[in-house]
Amino acid sequence: MANKNQENQEKDAVETISVDNSKKEIFEVLTFKDWLITILISSIPVVNLIMFFIWAFSKEENPNKANWAKANLAWMAIGIILTIIFFSAIASFIIVALR
């Protein structure tokens, strides 16, 4: 049993391997608990924006979580831009209709 736990810890450990004379890093797999906490935090307004920036641009963060945070920031930016375009169009229709 102890041997199996040790194998799991070694499997999840961060290590560097050399493939074709280039170094590639293998990072820890985020656990179910890690993802539950991450998604819970990301569902809180304003806190999510702050945490997405921290996760996305922190040098110490798991690259999988960092890429996920960057993708979420990109979707947020797209949503904000589309919302501005939509409400600008609605406002212009209302202004034209009132003249």
Check whether 5 has a pLDDT greater than 80: no
pLDDT above 80 (res 87):
yes
Residues above pLDDT 90, as percent of the chain: 71
Determine if the pTM surpasses 0.95.
no
Find where tokens 């170094």 sit.
23
Residue 4 pLDDT > 80: no
Mean pLDDT of the chain: 87
The pair phi, psi for residue 60, each rounded to 5°, is -95, -5
